[in-house]
Amino acid sequence: MSRILAGNWKMNLGVAEGTALLRAIGDHAVPAGSLTTVVFPPLTILAALARERRIQDPKLGVQNCHAEPKGPFTGEVSPEMAREAGAELALVGHSERRRLFCENDASVQAKMKGVLRAGLKPVLCIGETLAERERRETRDVLSRQLGRALEGIPARAPLWVAYEPVWAIGTGVVATVDEVAEAHGWVLEELGRMGRGSAAGHPPVLYGGSVDPKNASGLAALPEVDGFLVGGASLAAETFLAIGDALVKAEHAI
Ligand code: 13P
C-alpha cells in the first residue's frame, strides 16, 4: 500500500518559497506507487501552487474551511471555493483550530459534512491534551472525537484520520513508538466498531507531532502508521523528503 507523506505548512511560506518547495517535492523520485504526497499551504498561495504543478503530485489541500457553501461569513472560505482553487483534501479539526479558534466537536462535524459535500477528502485530526493523557483518558477522547465528527456521515465516505497528540505538536516532544502503536490501535478498533474498517482495509491513519528525519524511521516501522502529517519539518525540502524516504524504506521492510 502507498504510504502518505503530508505537510501542514500552517501560516508559513509565500508564493516564491512555496513554489520552490513544491517543485523540490515534485522532482524527488520515489519508487512508483510507494508514496502519496500532500501539502497543505496557506490559502493565499493555493491557486498559484495548483497552476505550478506539472502533474497531480503532490496533492494539495486546505488547512481549514467553513462548513457552508456560501453566505455572510466575513473572512471565511467555503469548501467549494477551496476545491475551485485547487484543493483535493481538507484538514478538519486540527488541534490548533480547536484550541486557538474555538472549534469543538459540533463545528468539526459540520465541517466534515461541508468538506464531503464539496467533494474534498477530509483529513480528520484528533488527539488528546497532556492533561487528558495524564488522566488516562486518551482512548475515551479519541473515541469521542471520532464518534462526534463522523456522526451522520456514511461509512463509505472518503476519510483519512490524523492522530496528533496535542502535547507533541510543535514541542519537539515526539510520542514514543509504543504510545503511537497503542493510540493507532485504539483508533483502528474504533473505526472498525463504527463500520469504517476491517482486516481488508481501513481509512489511512497518519501520525503527527514533532516528526523529523531522526524519529521518522522508528515510527514508520509500525504497521499501524499509514503515514505522517508533518508540521515544522515540512517547511524545508531536505527534512520533508527525508521523512518520506523513511516511509518508503519502512514500507519495503514490512
Ligand atoms: P509539528 O510537526 O511542527 O509538531 O506539527 C505537527 C502538526 O501540527 C501537523 O498538523
pLDDT at 31: 83
pLDDT at 254: 59
* DSSP 8-class letter at 11: S
Q: Whose CA is nearest to atom 5 of ligand 1?
A: 231
Ligand 1 atom at shortest distance from the alpha carbon of 210: 4
pLDDT band at 198 (very low <50, low <70, confident <90, very high): low
Report the predicted TM-score, pTM, of the whole model to 2 decimal places. 0.96
Q: Whose CA is nearest to atom 9 of ligand 1?
A: 231
Q: Which residues have C-beta within 8 Å of that of residue 17, sequence separation ≥ 6?
A: none
| Pocket mutation for ligand 1, best pick of 89, 169, 173, 206 (most atoms within 8 Å of C-beta) | 169
Nearest residue to 64 via CA among 88, 30, 28, 94:
94
Q: Which residues have C-beta within 8 Å of that of residue 190, sequence separation ≥ 6?
A: 142, 143, 146, 147
- Using an 8 Å Cβ cutoff, are 180 and 217 in contact? no
Whether pLDDT at 252 is above 90: no
- The enclosing domain of 31 has a CATH number of 3.20.20.70
Structural domain boundaries enclosing 86:
3-253
Distance (angstroms) between ligand 1 centre and the Cα of 119 equals: 25
Whether pLDDT at 55 is above 90: no
User: Count of domains in the chain?
Assistant: 1
Supply the residues annotated as catalytic.
94, 164
| 18 Cβ inside 6 Å of ligand 1 | no
- pLDDT digit string (tens) for 61-113? 999 999 999 999 999 999 999 999 999 999 999 999 999 999 999 999 999 99
Whether pLDDT at 52 is above 90: no
pLDDT at 48: 96
When pLDDT is averaged across residues 14-34 and rounded to a whole number, the result is 92
- pLDDT digit string (tens) for 130-181? 999 999 999 999 999 999 999 999 999 999 999 999 999 989 888 999 999 9
pLDDT at 251: 75
Is residue 158 classed as helix, strand or coil in its secondary structure? coil
Distance (angstroms) between ligand 1 centre and the Cα of 213 equals: 14
Cell matching residue 91: 484538514
**How many whole angstroms separate alpha carbon 70 and alpha carbon 76?**
9
